[in-house]
């Protein structure tokens, strides 16, 4: 009798392992009792199943969504990873409706999302590399340019790009960065700061009428590397016009052409591209360069907006260079997060 009491009660009077196990089995039996012998589990939830199939289709065939009307395709691709938040909602609703059809259908978007983004959840970085680079859209209305410069410089980048530089603040950034970076070059609203000599600096025409992109050669210990810094035009979502990105797309094509014409085999692009790697409209750039975040990042590396990052629009891309690791830096007064990467210049 004493042994039996021990199995059903603990010393303090609470339920023992046997009683807790019985309670869990009773709860599970009560939940599934409505499923057993009920043929309606296959007829219920048809609408949920259709929604699940549509969601899977949008993710799997996003490149076929036309841009003809309001750039709907590019808009979908910009926030494509976030479509995954609807999957757990569908699963919960399928359970509430006790619909086997909806549950099975919900497996489709799960599989598609994991195929597209499952690898990004893992840490793909590794040790090594011989050059650290960083980029930051500092925001023209930044109230503390000196503090922002010091914060970004503290990340230890060998080469740093800044975008959206206000003309009146350039001297402030330069002075704050001088203790870390001996060399720098500014073209229009973008600039490059480096621990190594900079030469052959020129503006890159991205069809805007003013300078928001530049090219420079940096003489690293491993040899010359061509650096591009760019700030592509902003995009907007308007009710009457949809995703307005025509000027951004035109500038992306011009930037891609400049990168393609570059004679040096090792190229690094730093900047705010106002678009993600999934956006087909950046194909002129993304088709010839690798994203350090996609190749060696930890997670999605969302950089905008800084208050609640939802998209990776600040990019570090390479050609003829091997990405080793990639990460975001702590928040500054800007509405963008700085991003950094470590690369190996001796490997392709």
pTM of this structure: 0.85
What is d(CA 51, CA 106) in angstroms, rounded to the nearest whole number? Answer: 9
Distant-in-sequence, close-in-space partners of 60: CB < 8 Å, separation ≥ 6: 112
Average pLDDT over residues 295-314: 95
pLDDT of residue 219: 98
Inform me whether the pLDDT recorded for 244 exceeds 80. no
Would you state the pLDDT for residue 176?
98
d(CA 244, CA 240): 10
Residue 121: band (very low, low, confident or very high) from pLDDT cuts 50, 70, 90:
confident
Distance between CA 223 and CA 320 in Å, rounded? 12
For the chain, domain boundaries: 34-121, 131-344
**Average predicted confidence (pLDDT) for the chain:** 89
DSSP string, 240-257: TTEEE-HHHHHHHHHHHH
Residue 318 to residues 57, 98, 265, Cα–Cα distance (Å): 31, 50, 10
CA nearest 260: which of 232, 292, 230, 226? Answer: 226
pLDDT at 37: 53
Specify the pLDDT at position 1. Answer: 45
For 131-344, CATH number out of 3.40.50.300, 3.60.10.10, 3.40.50.2300, 1.10.3720.10 equals: 3.60.10.10
- What does the pLDDT look like over 189-224, one tens digit per residue? 999 999 999 999 999 999 999 999 999 999 999 999
Greater pLDDT, 83 or 36: 83
Alpha carbon 236 to chain centroid distance?
18
Nearest alpha-carbon partner for 229 in 303, 166, 136, 347:
136
What does DSSP assign to residue 84? G
48 CB-contact burial (10 Å; exposed 0-12 / middle 13-18 / buried 19+): buried
Q: What pLDDT, in 10s, does the model give residues 220-235?
A: 999 999 999 999 998 8
Sign of CA dihedral 56, 62, 63, 67: positive
Q: Band of the pLDDT at 237, cuts 50, 70, 90?
A: low
Range in 5-14, 43-52, 149-158, 302-311 with the lowest mean pLDDT = 5-14
How is residue 149 written in tokens?
Answer: 């410069």
Residue 172 reports pLDDT greater than 80: yes
- The pLDDT, as a whole number, for residue 324 is 97
Q: Is the pLDDT of residue 312 over 60?
A: yes
Alpha carbon 150 to its chain's center: 25
- 4 pLDDT band, cuts 50/70/90, is very low
Residue 3 confidence (pLDDT) above 50: no
* Residue 51 tokens, joined: 């929604």
Q: Cα dist. 215→197, 269, 328 in Å?
A: 14, 9, 24
Tell me which long-range contacts 54-58 makes (C-beta under 8 A, separation of at least 24).
55/83, 55/86, 55/87, 55/90, 55/108, 55/109, 56/108, 56/109, 56/111, 56/112, 58/83
DSSP-based three-state secondary structure for 290:
strand
Q: Residue 67's pLDDT is what?
A: 86
């Amino acid at each position: 009798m004493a042994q039996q009491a021990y199995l059903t009660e603990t010393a303090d009077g609470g339920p023992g392992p046997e009683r807790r196990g019985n309670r869990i089995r009773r709860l599970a039996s009560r939940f599934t009792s409505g499923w057993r012998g009920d043929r309606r589990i296959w007829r219920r939830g048809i609408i949920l199943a259709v929604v699940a199939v549509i969601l899977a289709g949008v993710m799997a065939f996003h490149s076929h969504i036309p841009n003809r009307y309001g750039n709907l395709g590019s808009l979908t691709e910009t926030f494509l990873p976030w479509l995954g938040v609807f999957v757990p909602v569908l699963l919960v609703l399928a359970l509430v409706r006790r619909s086997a059809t909806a549950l099975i259908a919900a497996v489709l978007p799960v599989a598609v999302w994991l195929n597209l983004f499952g690898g990004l959840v893992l840490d793909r970085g590794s040790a090594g590399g011989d050059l650290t680079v960083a980029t930051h859209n500092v925001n023209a209305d930044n109230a503390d340019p000196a503090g922002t410069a010091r914060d970004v410089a503290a990340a230890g980048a060998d080469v740093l790009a800044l975008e959206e530089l206000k003309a009146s603040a350039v001297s402030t950034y330069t002075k704050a960065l001088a203790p870390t970076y001996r060399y720098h070059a500014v073209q229009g609203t973008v600039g490059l700061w480096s621990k190594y000599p900079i030469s052959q600096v020129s503006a890159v025409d991205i069809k805007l009428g003013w300078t928001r992109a530049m090219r420079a050669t940096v003489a690293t210990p491993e040899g010359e590397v061509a650096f591009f810094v760019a700030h592509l035009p902003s995009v907007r979502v308007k009710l009457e016009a949809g995703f307005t990105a025509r000027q951004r797309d035109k500038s992306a094509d011009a930037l891609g052409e400049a990168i393609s014409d570059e004679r040096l085999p090792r190229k690094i692009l730093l900047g705010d591209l106002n678009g993600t790697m999934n956006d087909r409209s950046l194909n002129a750039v993304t088709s010839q360069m690798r994203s350090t975040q996609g190749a060696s990042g930890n997670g999605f590396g969302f950089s905008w907006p800084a208050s609640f990052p939802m998209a990776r629009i600040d990019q570090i891309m390479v050609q003829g260079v091997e990405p080793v690791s990639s990460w975001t830096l702590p928040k500054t007064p800007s509405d963008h997060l700085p991003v950094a990467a470590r690369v190996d210049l001796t490997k392709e």
